[in-house]
Structure 1
Amino acid sequence: MKIASFDIDAQKGFTPLCPDELPVPEGHLIAGALNHLASFAELRLGSKDAHSPQAAWVVQTQAEMLQPLELANADLTWVSHCVPGTPGFELLDTLPAPLAYDYFVWKGVEPDLHPYGACYHDLADTRSTGVIEYLRQQQVDTVLVGGLALDYCVKTTALQLRRAGFRVGVYLPACRAIADHTAAQACEQMRSEGVELYDSAAQLAAAVPQKEA
């Protein structure tokens, strides 16, 4: 069994460190759990949002967020976040630099794109980012996932990987969610599609053999 870990959008813009962006509660606390997750893997993948401040889905206040849009590849409004060159774009401290990962994806670079999953650039899952092809070429069969936020980008990436035929496990201590009710819905959907959820380090260790030092 060849294992990869995948750090999804573990950026400061999704944490209380950047309160004017999309501060997921306790999002700044997951770096240690992501590093622990990587200790089970032979390959480590990562992703970042990389958005234009003039993106088509940007609104000025958080009260205006989550309104539907009639765009092919941006379905909801969001405040500006994770703009290259700003603190919110940066990965959490103690994580590797992007080029230190074995494979890295920058998401939503075009102003009319706001994908959630890291495997496709579009919402219809037709324009690959190369992640699935890379994992297959590397003969990976299990992908361990963590990151931000559980109820959006982590969930979508995990489901994309599962639908592509991989065994997928989400390590919940390495995730945080925007809201409890959407986190519960995300977990229910992931379980229903065969994604494994690990509530603790002990559950992770019981389910996945740790790589040899």
Structure 2
Amino acid sequence: MQISDRDVLLVIDVQNDFCTAGALAVPGGEKVVPAINRIAANFTNVVLTQDWHPSDHISFAPNHAGKQPFQTIELDYGTQVLWPTHCVQGTAGAEFHAELEIIRANLVVRKGFRRGIDSYSALFENDHRTPTGLLGYLRERELKTVFVAGLALDFCVRFSAEDARKAGFEVAVIEDACRGIDLDGSVGATHQSFRERGISTVSLEALL
């Protein structure tokens, strides 16, 4: 598969708290780093996202009396999973993994910084209306195909890929540069969603 100057690599949340020993570790999360570094060298356009929560964020289970991580609550924008406290602004857990070659990035998009709403997608917060600004950037740059990698496959990668596809971009998820949480079958549901929406999955080798 040929990569062009109108393609963009969107690298989702490769941060310490999502890697082994982190506050919300995705199994094998750090294993995406070498793959992402390899493929990023072939892209002119690279965008990183960074979860960037205040400590009192509404999605943190400790901020709700009697609630445990991975339970859910209902908010005005729908069902919200409650997470362990993670990626708090300015903490080591919110930093990018030390081996991620962030120097290749043209843009860093911080998300989840509004206390009252979570933000899985790189393009919209969880109300599906509040923009992060990335969509405007992609359109202004006249980019065409969004390749997605990072953490976690079944949450922030999935929401980002779906929103990019809905916005009219061709979307391909680089599966071996992602890792999932698999909460109640969420990885299987993600693959089903990709098939239904015309989001392709590609291997790292196919792009090298």
In the alignment, the residues of structure 2 paired with residue 68 and residue 50 of structure 1 have an alpha-carbon distance, to the nearest angstrom, of 21
Corresponding residue SS for 1:91: coil
Query: What TM-score, normalized by structure 2, do the two folds share?
Result: 0.87
In the alignment, the residues of structure 1 paired with residue 132 and residue 100 of structure 2 have an alpha-carbon distance, to the nearest angstrom, of 22
Q: For each residue in 1:54-87, what CA deviation from the matched residue of structure 2 results, as whole angstroms up to 9, or x when unmatched?
A: 1122223994323123243772211110012222
In the alignment, the residues of structure 2 paired with residue 117 and residue 134 of structure 1 have an alpha-carbon distance, to the nearest angstrom, of 15
Q: For each residue in 1:166-193, what CA deviation from the matched residue of structure 2 results, as whole angstroms up to 9, or x when unmatched?
A: 1111001110000283112101101210
Q: Is structure 2 residue 121 aligned with structure 1 residue 117?
A: yes
Does the Cα contact within 8 Å between 2:20 and 2:28 map onto a contact in 1? yes
In the alignment, the residues of structure 2 paired with residue 68 and residue 88 of structure 1 have an alpha-carbon distance, to the nearest angstrom, of 25
In the alignment, the residues of structure 1 paired with residue 31 and residue 156 of structure 2 have an alpha-carbon distance, to the nearest angstrom, of 17
Q: Which residue does 2:12 correspond to in 1?
A: 8
Query: In structure 2, do the counterparts of structure 1 residues 62 and 68 end up closer, same or farther at CA, with 3 Å as the change threshold?
Result: closer
Structure 1, unmatched stretches of 5+, are 206-213
Query: What TM-score, normalized by structure 1, do the two folds share?
Result: 0.86
In the alignment, the residues of structure 1 paired with residue 138 and residue 69 of structure 2 have an alpha-carbon distance, to the nearest angstrom, of 38
Q: Which residue does 1:81 correspond to in 2?
A: 86
Query: In structure 2, do the counterparts of structure 1 residues 62 and 92 end up closer, same or farther at CA, with 3 Å as the change threshold?
Result: farther
Structure 2 counterpart of 1:184, one-letter code: G
Does the Cα contact within 8 Å between 1:62 and 1:79 map onto a contact in 2? no
How many residue pairs match? The answer is 200
Corresponding residue SS for 1:30: helix
RMSD, aligned α-carbons: 2.1
Select which of 185, 191, 197 maps to 1:187: 191
Q: Which residue does 2:96 correspond to in 1?
A: 91
In the alignment, the residues of structure 1 paired with residue 84 and residue 200 of structure 2 have an alpha-carbon distance, to the nearest angstrom, of 32
